[in-house]
Amino acid sequence: MGRDDEPVDSMEIDGQQQLKVEGPAAVPDGFNADYLRVYYGKLFPYGDFFQWLCYANDGKHPGCDQSYVGRREFSFTLENDIYLRFQSFDSAAELESSIKEKCPFKIDIGPVYSVDPAKRHAYAQSGNNVFVPVERELIFDIDISDYDDVRYCCSGADVCKECWPLMTIAIKILDTSLRDDFGFNHILWVYSGRRGVHCWVCDTRARKLRNEQRAAVADYFRVYKGGENALKKVSLAGPVLHPFLARSYTDVLESFFEDKLLLSQKLFASEERCQKILDLIPDENVASELHDKWQGNSRSSISKEDVNAARWKQLKTTLQLGKHKAQGLRRCVEEIVFLYTYPRLDMEVSKHMNHLLKAPFCIHPKTGRVCVPIDPNNCDDFDPTAVPTLSQLLGELNAAGFQTDSENNWERTSLEKSIRFFRTSFLQPLLKACKEELESAYNAKLQQSKNSLNW
């Protein structure tokens, strides 16, 4: 079900004509089927994309599962909002020709099923539920629109430089924990094209998790609780924090809150905003004490210190030092920081194998931006407003001059950086590990059959 709340803009520009009329470099902004056709024709990295989803099962090795990639579901959303589910492809060439032919506005990736999803009806006849998902990357979906109650710069699907860092720290926290706590190595972060990020954990172990185990990982990350009517959406019980939360707090959240968010979102700049934070303090006396203090100084003192920083400091000292060290208040400072900064996951996406997720390198129809990978080690530098757009890429192609069907047209566009990153930092290490696993599983099997023969 769609989550964007405005209807799709009608296509205002006839791209084909514009393309011919305009000079080589400038291509008008926008998103339409004609632009998209050029993108799918010249730029989409089919080879790398397909290789990823084969997980080394496309080689000559006798341990390969040749049916593997063909059991993966792809889903296309066409221009007129027609959904084509349960598409499957045995080779990169098949995938490529289908995408070029259908020109999907959106490509989703589903799980690997027990049988070829395109032929699921044939198997359904035999009963016994043979058509079931058997493998799927562990995925996470984080949307900036879920942070609307704690950001004042934008709301809904809008994103700017002031609130995007919320996504950046979500990446940092999850990435660190997925690697250090859960031991995963092959993690792909992707810009969702408009208002969030997607995460694909691709280790074999992650792909084989059962739903219950996926839910457990998602719950491990869940701090934000309660629907719209819960009073306290973040509640940290216990005298100390779990090592994961403690590390997230000291390494990332605390400094991010104090050095960036506090000032960029002006969290204490108005009566209303202050009240919102004061409401999180369970002791009414303390809250009203602070309230009175701030009422007084908002007009009179024109101190050099920023009002947000000053008030936060006051709140912290009041809660942490002196007479208020009661049980309930001890956690309160941390709770406020967690509420305003800690990642908010769309839990349902992660919990079930059969959830679809938009493929990397798609173009977002509303923004025209490419869903490019994000390097978690340099995620601070990622700027969603600088992500290449469809029209920009076409302009670059034009500028470079159409060379007769060169393999790697993308090398001459700003997509190059993204595809190189995908290839060298994600795909190559992943395939290396997959091949090693394949090899050792195969050897173990050989050994086993040899042993049983001897016996």
Partner 1 sequence: MEIVRSHRQLAAAAAAAAAGGAGALPTYRAAPQLEVRLEEFELFAIDRLRVLKGISDGLSRGKRPEEMEKLVCELWKTHMRHQDPAETLNKDIISHFVLRLVYCRTEELRKWFLSMETTLFRYRFRLESPESQRMLMTEFQLPYKALPHSEFEVVKDKLSQVARSIGQSANVESVFFKVPFEEVPDLVASRRVFLSKGYAYVAMSQVVSLVVTQFRCNISKALVLTNRKWTATIKEQEKDRLTPIVEALSNAYFGPDYSQPKDAVEISLKDIDQLAKSSFPLCMRHMLDKLRENHHLKHGGRMQFGLFLKGAGLKLEDALAFWRAEFSQKVGSERFDKEYAYSIRHNYGKEGKRTDYTPYSCQKIISATPGVGDHHGCPYRHFGDENLRAALNKMGVGGHALEEIMDKVKNRHYQLACTLTFEATHGVSCDSGINHPNQYFSESQKVLRAKVGAVIYYTLTVFLVLCSYYLAELIFQFNMWGFNAQNQTVESQSTT
Contact indicator for 221, 343 with CB cutoff of 8 Å: yes
Q: Is 217 in the site for partner 1 (CB under 8 A)?
A: yes
Residues 235-274 within binding reach of partner 1 (CB under 8 A): 237-246
State which of residues 1, 21, 302, 453 lies at the interface with partner 1 (CB under 8 A): 1
Q: Is 157 in the site for partner 1 (CB under 8 A)?
A: no
φ/ψ region of 368 (left if φ > 0, alpha if ψ in -120 to 50, else beta) reads: left
The only residue of 14, 29, 180, 292 in contact with partner 1, by rule CB under 8 A: 180
> Angle CA(111)–CA(115)–CA(117) in degrees, nearest 5?
60
Q: Check if the beta carbon of residue 47 is closer than 8 Å to that of residue 65.
A: no
What distance in Å separates the CA atoms of residue 265 and residue 260, rounded to the nearest whole number? 8
Cα distance between residue 76 and residue 71, in whole Å: 16
Handedness of CA 271, 273, 277, 279 (dihedral sign): positive
Yes or no: say if 416 and 172 are a contact pair by the CB < 8 Å rule.
no
| Residue 337 token pair | 């920081």
Q: What whole-number distance in Å separates Cα of residue 406 and Cα of residue 451?
A: 52
* Number of amino acids touching partner 1 (CB under 8 A): 47
Using the minimum distance from each CB to partner 1, give the nearer residue, 212 or 405.
212
Q: Does 5 bind partner 1 (CB under 8 A)?
A: yes
Which one of residues 22, 94, 181, 306 is an interface residue with partner 1 (CB under 8 A)? 181
Euclidean distance between the first and final Cα of the chain, in Å?
A: 57
Binding of partner 1 by 433 (CB under 8 A): no
Does 213 bind partner 1 (CB under 8 A)? Our answer is: yes
Among 219, 284, 381, 436, binds partner 1 (CB under 8 A): 219
Minimum CB distance to partner 1, residue 271 (Å): 20
Nearest approach in angstroms of CB 102 to partner 1 is: 18
CB of 98 to partner 1, least distance (A): 23
Q: Can residue 346 be called a binding residue for partner 1 (CB under 8 A)?
A: yes
Complex with partner 1: residue 148 or 439, whichever CB lies closer: 148
Which residues participate in catalysis according to the annotation? 73, 141, 143
Which of 14, 29, 149, 381 lies at the binding interface for partner 1 (CB under 8 A)?
Answer: 149
Evaluate whether 171 touches 197 at the Cβ level (below 8 Å).
yes
Contact flag: residue 226 with partner 1 (CB under 8 A): yes
Q: In this chain, which of 29, 84, 220, 449 binds partner 1, going by CB under 8 A?
A: 220
**Phi and psi based region of residue 86 (left: phi greater than 0; alpha: psi -120 to 50; beta: remaining):** left
d(CA 430, CA 73): 21
Q: Where does this chain bind partner 1 (CB under 8 A)?
A: 1-2, 5, 7, 81, 146, 148-149, 180-184, 205, 209-210, 212-213, 215-217, 219-220, 222, 224-232, 237-246, 344, 346-348
